Structure 1
Amino acid sequence: MSHTAHIPSHRKPRRSASKTALRAGVAGGVLSTIAVAAAAGPAQAEPVTQTIEMPTLTTGLSTAVAASAEATQQVALDLETQAHEDAAATTAAKAAKKAKAEAVRKAEAKKKAETAAKAKAEAALRASRSEARTTLSATSGSTSVAPSSSSATGSAASVIAFVKAQVGDAYVSGGTGPNSWDCSGLVQAAFRSVGVDLPRVSQAQSTAGTQVSLSNLQPGDILYWGGAGSAYHVGVYVGGGQFVGAQNPSTGVVLRSLDYDPPSGAVRVL
């Protein structure tokens, strides 16, 4: 065995033939290019035209178009909705105007009917009073009633004093005093002052005592207008051809001559 058999070699490892050939080829190509360029001299280089491929925008464009279409459709729907709302508002306004006109018409018709009914009632009242005057004239030969020949005494005098003390008080429908009265409320209070209880309403008061002739009246008699049992007004005869009664809201409680408004009849309670 040689004494150098175990000494490692210091030579570089041998490169493979393929790598060596590749490097040689590259180097040769570079040297060839340099040689050709040098031989060509300062010839002007041709401009290099480079084609740039633009990215495809199909996907983004489709999304934008779709969004635009959706927005347009939404605007159309909003306009259509607004149109429907405007039409509904116009229809409602027309209906409200028509309803208001109808309400006004009905109110006017009601007012006319009430006015006509009031006029009819007043005409009936005037006719009733005219009939009462005619009846009184036929039975007594005059619209005046002979005054009593004697002065009131006792309870009758107290009743007369009571009603005369209320002259000037207000007339209020349903009033029973002490400062406002209706016709039957005043008569009831006057007789109650002497301990006589009378019915509350004029219809019942017109039949509360003995019927007497208008030509034979005495102070303290109850006068009534209308029929006995259906009278619409009452008062108290105070003598001297006069009576006291709560007539109406315009006059209140008054002292009047029988010729002012001749009664239909009379009853005597005292």
Structure 2
Amino acid sequence: MSHTAHIPSHRKPRRSASKMALRAGVAGGVLSTLAVAGAAGTATAAEPVTETVELPTLTADLSAQIAQSADATAQAADSYEARAQQDAAATKAAKQAAKDQVEAAKKAEAKKKAAAKAEAEREAAAKRAARDAERTQLSTQSAPSGGGSATTASNSSNSSDSSNVSTPSSGSVAGVISFLKAQVGDAYVMGGTGPNSWDCSGLVQAAFKQAGVDLPRTSQAQSTAGTPVSLSNLQVGDIVYWGGAGSAYHVGVYIGGGQYLDAANPSKGVVIQDLSGYPASGAVRVL
């Protein structure tokens, strides 16, 4: 026995050829199996997945229902359109009726105004005719007679001259003249408005108030208060003034026969005078 026989050997035992062949065979089988599985997986992944869905087949009843629904929809649309047209026609008719009513009201109002205007013109014409006749009568009655009166110089002579002018009995102009005559002999006071003292415009204003005419207070305003008339066409009741129209400094009232009545000045008071002795600058007519 060798002296090293008791020491275990560290060499690995040799494998036998049969075992190695077995292991190689097992490994080759495993690899073959993996290859086959991989090929199969690849082939499976390459194939597209398809699925067939069967659609329902339209039956005769379903087709009829669809057609009926379409007809109903068309009829509803026609109905809505017809109703819309009717509504539009009704709205238009209502607007036209309202317009016609407004036009009829305007025509009726215009006709009413025309009738009222015509009536007012007839009344005005009748009043003018009455005033003209009254003025003619007053002028005839107040014409100076025989020894005609000259310009009065005192209140006493004024009273005698006023007897030559008859007192009118009625009418707006007559009321003005009657009032003026009743004041003859009253005192003149600057700013006086009656009942016993006057200035020129205060007397004229009060006289015309008897006829329902509201005149301005001053002689300047009274000189433009009516329709301008020429001195050659004076009528009883016309306002005569001295100075320019709108800037007159004195006024009186024409009473016919070439005479006028006024609140002259502090020395004369309210008197009747002849225009020939103190010609007026202009005249206006308010009645």
Bin the TM-score by the shorter chain: 0.3 to 0.5
How high is the TM-score relative to the length of structure 1?
A: 0.44
How high is the TM-score relative to the length of structure 2?
A: 0.42
